[in-house]
Amino acid sequence: DAGVTQSPTHLIKTRGQQVTLRCSPKSGHDTVSWYQQALGQGPQFIFQYYEEEERQRGNFPDRFSGHQFPNYSSELNVNALLLGDSALYLCASRPDRVSYEQYFGPGTRLTVT
Amino acid sequence: GDSVTQMEGPVTLSEEAFLTINCTYTATGYPSLFWYVQYPGEGLQLLLKATKADDKGSNKGFEATYRKETTSFHLEKGSVQVSDSAVYFCALIDRNTGNQFYFGTGTSLTVIP
A35 touches chain B (CB under 8 A): yes
Q: What is the pLDDT of residues A71-92, one digit of tens each?
A: 999 999 999 999 999 999 999 9
Tens digits of residue pLDDT in B34-89: 999 999 888 899 999 998 899 999 999 999 999 999 999 999 999 999 999 999 99
pLDDT at residue A1 in the model: 65
Q: Does the distance separating the beta carbons of A44 and B103 come in below 8 Å?
A: yes
Tell me the average pLDDT across B94-107. Answer: 85
Q: Is A74 part of the contact surface with chain B (CB cutoff 8 Å)?
A: no
| Structure confidence at residue A93 (pLDDT) | 94
Which residue from B52, B82, B80, B76 is spatially nearest to B64, judged by alpha carbons? Answer: B76
Of A58, A102, A106, the CB nearest to B42: A106
Reported as a pLDDT band with limits 50, 70 and 90, residue B98 is low
B5 touches A at CB < 8 Å: no
Mean pLDDT across the stretch B27-39? 90
The pLDDT value recorded for residue A102 is 86
Asked if B106 is an interface residue toward chain A (Cβ–Cβ < 8 A), one would say yes
Instruction: Please give the pLDDT value at position A65.
Output: 97
Cα A30 to Cα A21, A49, A71, distances in angstroms: 18, 9, 8
- Helix, strand, or coil (residue B71): coil
Q: How distant is the Cα of A99 from the closest Cα of chain B, in angstroms?
A: 8
- Collect all residues of chain B within an 8 Å Cβ-Cβ radius of residue A44: 103
| Interface A-B: count of C-beta contacts within 8 A | 56
pLDDT tens by residue, A10-48: 999 999 999 999 999 999 899 999 999 999 899 999 999
Q: Which residues of B touch A56 (CB under 8 A)?
A: 97, 99-100
Can you give the pLDDT at residue B100?
87
Residue B4 has pLDDT above 90, yes or no: yes
Residue B63 and residue A5: Cα distance in Å, rounded?
29
